[in-house]
């Protein structure tokens, strides 16, 4: 499957949304999302403009992540499930739009958790001071949710079910299942 075009297009979309949501951090912090030589990898750079050195340089913390796994695959899974669903075109369209917004929001929440995790690892940036319990929570959320693709895949399937099918559809499916077991 030719991922290069999709990695580039989705990566650009991801970085654009991330820039809008996360560029400014507090009063003096910033984040920059850049593509790398590997199209599926995005680099994050975090810095604090209040820490400018005499030579004009700002120290930054960096991290990289895979936009294909974090966002593209769950989004494409959701859209594929909607398009393959036995519902009307009108419902597919509304499910696709609404679900896309919800999936993208969940993916951006994972990105926010990732940024918080970077703050815990680069406290010298002085962007946010965590209490010990907050730090444990952030690290746990990152290690168990944001750093893995599984929770987003499960969420994409749940969003597909909720946005695409109505209660009446469930009744029809259950009726069909019951009629097949009676044979």
pLDDT higher than 70, residue 181: no
- Give the total number of structural domains in the chain: 1
**Is the pTM above the cut of 0.85?**
yes
Considering only residues 4 and 118, tell me which one the structure prediction assigns the higher pLDDT: 118
Q: CB-based contacts of 28: which residues, under 8 Å, 6+ apart?
A: 48, 49, 50
Give the Cα separation of 149 and 78 in Å (integer): 14
User: 132 lies in which domain range?
Assistant: 3-181
- Match 């403009």 to its residue by tokens: 49
Helix (H, G, I), strand (E, B) or coil at 166: coil
pLDDT higher than 70, residue 56: yes
Q: What confidence tens digit (pLDDT) does each residue in 93-130 have?
A: 999 999 999 999 999 999 999 999 999 999 999 988 89
Closest CA to 147 of 69, 31, 62: 69
């Amino acid at each position: 499957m030719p991922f290069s075009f999709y990695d580039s297009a989705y990566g650009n979309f991801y970085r654009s949304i991330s820039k809008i949501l996360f560029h400014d951090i507090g009063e003096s912090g910033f984040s920059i999302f850049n593509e790398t030589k590997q199209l599926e990898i995005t680099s994050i750079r975090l810095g604090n403009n209040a820490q400018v050195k005499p030579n004009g340089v700002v120290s930054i913390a960096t991290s990289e992540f895979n936009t294909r796994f974090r966002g593209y695959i769950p989004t494409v899974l959701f859209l594929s499930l909607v398009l393959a669903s036995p519902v009307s075109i009108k419902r597919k369209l509304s499910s696709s739009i609404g679900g896309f917004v919800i999936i993208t929001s969940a993916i951006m929440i994972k990105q926010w958790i990732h940024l918080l995790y970077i703050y815990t690892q680069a406290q010298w940036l002085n962007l946010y001071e965590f209490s010990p319990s907050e730090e444990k929570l952030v690290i746990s959320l990152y290690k168990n949710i944001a750093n893995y693709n599984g929770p987003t895949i499960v969420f994409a399937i749940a969003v597909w079910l909720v946005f695409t099918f109505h209660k009446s559809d469930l009744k029809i499916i259950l009726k069909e299942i019951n009629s097949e077991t009676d044979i």
